[in-house]
């Protein structure tokens, strides 16, 4: 089996401001204080199913140097620079057309760069089963996460009959539900969080993009003759930004008749908020802390991310996110926010008018 892994690493993680910023987004940060950045941990968990020289990273042009520094084992020519962010469908299409030109029989896993998976052995087993299925079938397999709570911040996948750990036909994809609907999904037992991890053969997803997103396929076909030539960057710069800005979920997954899901409790989190980060950092009592000298007095339920601070002292806080981050010019940004208000961080961190 000719397995390849495509890591999408172009996001900016704005909900984890000020630690995650457009200059240094969360996928390139050691958010958990474990000595590995999120993108490095992503590579680590896929090594049981794919050789390092078959990894590909699609990222913004401004992050290419960072990817090279953090992932020296990945060939430089397999770090693909998007000239402009156009969401996941064009990102995936570019990587697929590039891989397929040299590896027409490729069986591909596509994954975000910035999620956490705690049960790595089970994860490798799930990915292996998905790859075996797509190798033999015209299928798109997505990884479903067994929900632990009625979360409203994730999309859901509804599966037809079958058991956990088996590849099952998808009945429908659902956008982020309200709380009552999420509770109903949890009770039904056949709804799973959409982790944004996909498995397919290159030929299959190319056929699906041609069918459901023909305008994107048309752009990729115009780029294709320049791939692996000195003209690739110029052609990409001129044509890639003309792609529709659309996710692979909207472009293909919600429309295809060939979608399947394999589900498991993988200890997964997208680490998309301070609350989710708190749940996955080693706790000190009821608080979760990253930093060499963080002193908490009469604090409960707080998340403190202070790796960039010499000393942080907090007293009397309950259910707060506190973050300290140095900027490239030597400045310091500080967030002190109730966790109940963290959905407003994008507004709080917007530039002053």
Give residue-wise pLDDT tens across range 26-59. Answer: 999 999 888 999 999 999 999 999 999 999 999 9
**Alpha helices, DSSP H only, in the chain?**
38-46, 64-70, 88-102, 120-136, 179-188, 202-212, 214-223, 232-239, 248, 274-278, 345-348
pTM attached to this predicted model: 0.92
In the chain, ranges of CATH 3.90.550.10 domains: 3-269
Q: What is the average per-residue pLDDT within 99-118?
A: 96
pLDDT in tens, 235-247: 999 999 999 999 9
Q: What is the average per-residue pLDDT within 75-93?
A: 95
- The residue length of the chain stands at 353
- Residue 282 pLDDT > 80: no
What's residue 245's pLDDT?
95
What CATH topology corresponds to 3-269? Answer: Spore Coat Polysaccharide Biosynthesis Protein SpsA; Chain A (3.90.550)
Q: How confident is the model at residue 174 (pLDDT cuts 50, 70, 90)?
A: confident
> Which string of DSSP letters, residue by residue, matches 230-294?
TTHHHHHHHHGGGS----HIIIIITT-S-EEEEEE---EE---SHHHHHTTSPEETTEEEESSSE
Q: Which two tokens stand for residue 343?
A: 């959905």
């Amino acid at each position: 089996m000719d397995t390849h892994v495509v890591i999408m690493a172009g996001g900016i993680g704005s909900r984890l401001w000020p630690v995650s910023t457009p200059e240094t987004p969360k996928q390139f940060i050691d958010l958990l204080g474990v000595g590995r950045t999120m993108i490095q941990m992503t590579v680590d968990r896929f090594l049981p199913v794919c050789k390092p020289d078959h990894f590909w990273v699609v990222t913004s042009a401004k992050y290419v140097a960072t990817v090279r520094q953090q992932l020296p084992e990945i060939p430089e020519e397999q770090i693909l620079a998007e000239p402009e962010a156009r969401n996941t469908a064009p990102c995936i299409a570019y990587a697929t057309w590039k891989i397929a030109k040299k590896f027409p029989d490729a069986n591909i896993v596509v994954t975000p760069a910035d999620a956490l998976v705690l049960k790595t052995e089970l994860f490798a087993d799930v990915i292996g089963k998905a790859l075996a299925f797509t190798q033999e079938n015209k299928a798109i397999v997505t990884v479903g996460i067994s929900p632990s709570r009625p979360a409203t911040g994730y999309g859901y996948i509804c599966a037809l009959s079958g058991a956990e750990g088996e590849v099952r036909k998808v009945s429908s994809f659902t956008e982020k539900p309200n709380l009552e609907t999420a509770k109903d999904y949890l009770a039904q037992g056949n709804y799973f969080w959409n982790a944004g991890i996909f498995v397919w053969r290159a030929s299959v997803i190319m056929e699906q993009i041609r069918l459901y997103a023909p305008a994107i396929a048309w752009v990729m076909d115009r780029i294709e003759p320049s791939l692996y030539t000195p003209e690739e960057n110029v052609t990409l710069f001129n044509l890639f930004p003309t792609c529709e800005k659309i996710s692979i979920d909207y472009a293909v997954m919600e429309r295809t008749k060939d979608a399947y899901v394999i589900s498991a409790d993988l200890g997964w989190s997208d680490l998309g908020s301070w609350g989710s980060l708190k749940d996955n950092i080693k706790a000190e009592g009821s608080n979760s802390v990253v930093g060499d000298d963080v002193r908490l007095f009469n604090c409960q339920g707080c998340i403190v991310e202070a790796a960039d601070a010499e000393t942080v002292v907090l007293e009397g806080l309950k259910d707060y996110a506190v973050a300290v981050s140095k900027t490239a010019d030597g400045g310091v940004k500080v967030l002190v926010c109730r966790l109940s208000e963290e959905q407003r961080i994008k507004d709080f961190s917007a530039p002053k008018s």
